[in-house]
Structure 1
Amino acid sequence: MLDFMENVQNAFYEASHWNLDNSYGALNATARALLDFQTPKGLRLQISSLAAPNFATSYTLGTVGVVDGSVSYLYSSLPLTRELRTSSLELHHVIKGYRHLQNLRKPDEDWWWEVWHAGQRIDRRDTLLYGRIFLPQSRLEALYLRRLSPTRQLRISAVSDSNLNNGGTILTLLQNDTGKYSTEYMYSTDSALMGVRGLYNFGADPKAAPMAPITAPQIAEPVHGRFSAGAELYYGLLNKSGGLSTGLRFTTLPNHTGFPYTMTLTMNPLMGNLSSTYAVKAGPNLALCSRFDFNFYSYESELQLGCELWRRRRNTEVDWAVKKLRPDWKRPTTAPDDDVSGILKARVDQDWRIGLSWEGRIKELLFTLGASLDLKKREQIFRVVGIELQYSS
């Protein structure tokens, strides 16, 4: 489950019309959400607040061996309108699951962002500032995010920690998204790492305006899926080492009449790694996923299976009748998915290592209950057990 600050950052992306799914880094987002979910360790409590549409705070307290915690602050020049209170937020915004990719959106025109007053431009680019300090480790994380144009974004993240080389690291990303394709240019102070990656979407260009018919009007056949291809290349100037990977993805779009599904194939030719995933939304409340990894140098392989089940409350006929008869102005405000009582996630690999997670909402609290098991170790089957609680106002 996303924490409060991650949800706020996603609200900023949504308000500034930035597509998180249209990048090479998000190529395997569906498989990672269904197979690589984190199981909590020990007990962790988070209390957060959106004090104003532009300012948010969050406090975290955890007990994993020793008592630790963090304090974080966030400022956004763009007012955030998404509902962030735990009592009424939409669970789909904070729970990572099967991702339904939408049709590509045409980027905003540059002149849409212009604000003029008395003959002078007074508009400013939207900016997000985020800082978090971990106690008692005294580790500091910071994020600077700025929208440079409707198709360009600058992201600078930094970590200060005495345990890291040179006491910390800074990562800079210059991201471009035109809809049809996206590119990212990266530089990290760790080993002076430089990189570039991109994603290309086959099919119609969302920036191209539809042509007027010359004779009789023709109805274009709707597109039910999208095929994408991408690659990344990076090289460390200090350690004189680099890497290369490439990937393919096919996913169905909202107008697909059958079961939604996503297939990906990624390859790292230098390391010899090949990974294929298949995820399907088998029903309104059920998603299944599989991932097969193979190394054609060592001939080692790994298989993982996972599922996600959304459990919904069953309303009786009496409850249905009461809701129909009661006026809307008397009914308390509820979230769009208020009938969701919880989401169960499970994964298993070929070595019988199992991960379980139960996420949902109780009254005004979000909870995540998780466990990690190893069935081959009879003397200690349970490896990790934990629970996380979140409250935001």
Structure 2
Amino acid sequence: MLDFMDNVQNAFYEASHWNVDNSYGALNATARALLDFQTPKGLRLQISSLAAPNFATSYTLGSVGVVDGSVSYLYSSLPLRGRFKSSDLDLHNVIKGYRHLQKLRRPDEDWWWEVWHSGKRIDRRDTLLYGRIFLPQSTLEALYLRRLSPTKQLKISAVSSSSLNNGGTILALLQNDVGKYSTEYMYSTDSVLMGVRGLYNFGPDPRVAPTIPVTAQEIAEPVHGRFSAGAELYYGLLNKSGGISTGLRFTTLPNHTGFPYTMTLTLNPLMGNLSSTYAVKAGQNLALCSRIDFNFYSYESELQLGCELWRRRRNTDIEWAVKKLRPDWKQPNVAPDEDVSGILKARVDQNWKIGVLWEGRIKELLFTLGASLDLKKREQIIRAVGIELQYSS
């Protein structure tokens, strides 16, 4: 489940019209959500608040061997008006599951962002600042996010810790997204690493207005899917080493009449790794995913299977009818997913390592209950068990 601050950052992206899915880094987002979820360890409690449309705070307390925690603050120059209370937010916005990619939107025109007053231009670019300190380790995380233009964004993240080389590291990303394609330029102080990656979407260009169809065939053949291809290249100046990878993705769009599905294929030729994933939304409440990894240097392979199952309340209609018969009944303001009681996630690999996760809401608390199992180790099958609780106001 997303942390409160991650949910606020996603709201900033949405309010500033930034598509987080249109990048090479998000090529395997669906498979990662269904297969690479983290199972909690021990007990962790998070209390958060959006004190103002521009300011948010969050406090976390955990117990994994020793008592630890964190304190974080976030500021956004763009007012955020979404639902952030744990009692009424949409669970689909905070639970990572099968991702339905939407149609590409046309980027905003530059002049749309201009604000003039008395003949002077006074508009400013939207900015987000985030900081988090971990206790008792005294590790500090920071994020600076600035929208430079309708198609450009600058993201600078930093970590300060005595356990890292030179006491910390800084990563800068200059992102460009025009809809049809996106590019990212990266620089990291760790090993003086520089890189570039990009993603290209085949099919219609959202920047070009659709022309009037001249034949009945053009009217009868709407686009139901999107094929994308991308690659990345990076090189470290200090350690004289680099890497390269490339990937393909095909996913169905919302107007697809059959089962939604997503297929990806990624290749790292230097390391010899080949990875293929297939995810399908097999029903309204069920999603399945598989991933096969193969190394053509060592001939080693790995298989992972995963699923997610949304559980819905069966008595929603009955409760609604009973309440309506009461003389003093008034229709309450409920979240759009008020019939959802939770979601069950599970994964397993060829070594019989299993991860199970149950996420949902009880009253005004969001909860994540999980466990990791290793069936080959009979003396200790249960590797870890944990629960996380979140409350936001």
TM-score, structure 2 length as denominator? 0.97
Deviation string 1:310-346 (CA, Å, 9 cap, x unpaired) is: 0000126542424666799922221100111010000
Instruction: Give the alignment's Cα RMSD to 1 decimal.
Output: 1.7
- Residue of structure 2 in register with 1:37 after alignment: 37
- Residue of structure 1 in register with 2:121 after alignment: 121
| Inter-CA distance 237–316: structure 2 relative to 1 (3 Å threshold) | closer
- Residue of structure 2 in register with 1:392 after alignment: 392
- Residue of structure 2 in register with 1:277 after alignment: 277
Q: What is the letter of the counterpart of residue 128 of structure 2? A: L
Amino-acid identity (%): 88
Q: What is the letter of the counterpart of residue 156 of structure 1? A: I
- Residue of structure 1 in register with 2:243 after alignment: 243
| Inter-CA distance 156–299: structure 2 relative to 1 (3 Å threshold) | same
Q: Offset at 1:219?
A: 2.5
Please show how residues 229-240 of structure 1 align to structure 2 within 5 Å.
229-240=229-240
Contact 2:106 2:179 in 1 (8 A): yes
| 3-state SS in 2 of match to 1:14 | helix
- Residue of structure 2 in register with 1:161 after alignment: 161
Distance between the aligned counterparts of 1:348 and 1:202, measured in 2? 34
Please show how residues 1-393 of structure 1 align to structure 2 within 5 Å.
1-212=1-212, 219=219, 221-315=221-315, 318-322=318-322, 330-393=330-393
Distance between the aligned counterparts of 1:78 and 1:299, measured in 2? 51
Q: Offset at 1:209?
A: 1.1
| Inter-CA distance 350–215: structure 2 relative to 1 (3 Å threshold) | closer
Q: Offset at 1:358?
A: 0.2
Q: Offset at 1:188?
A: 0.1
Q: Offset at 1:381?
A: 0.5
| Inter-CA distance 215–349: structure 2 relative to 1 (3 Å threshold) | closer
TM-score, structure 1 length as denominator? 0.97
| 3-state SS in 1 of match to 2:81 | coil
Deviates more, 1:258-267 or 1:322-331: 322-331
Contact 2:249 2:262 in 1 (8 A): yes
| 3-state SS in 2 of match to 1:67 | strand
Distance between the aligned counterparts of 1:323 and 1:275, measured in 2? 52
Q: Offset at 1:81?
A: 1.1
Deviation string 1:171-202 (CA, Å, 9 cap, x unpaired) is: 00000000000000000000000000000000
| Inter-CA distance 277–327: structure 2 relative to 1 (3 Å threshold) | farther
Unaligned runs of 5+ in 2: none
Contact 2:323 2:329 in 1 (8 A): no
Distance between the aligned counterparts of 2:217 and 2:270, measured in 1? 51
Distance between the aligned counterparts of 1:220 and 1:109, measured in 2? 31
Q: Offset at 1:211?
A: 2.5
Q: What is the letter of the counterpart of residue 94 of structure 2? A: V
Distance between the aligned counterparts of 1:275 and 1:335, measured in 2? 38
Q: What is the letter of the counterpart of residue 119 of structure 1? A: G
Contact 2:302 2:350 in 1 (8 A): yes
Unaligned runs of 5+ in 1: none
Q: What is the letter of the counterpart of residue 211 of structure 2? A: M
| Inter-CA distance 217–69: structure 2 relative to 1 (3 Å threshold) | same
Contact 2:116 2:123 in 1 (8 A): yes
| 3-state SS in 2 of match to 1:219 | helix
| 3-state SS in 2 of match to 1:22 | coil
| Inter-CA distance 234–217: structure 2 relative to 1 (3 Å threshold) | closer
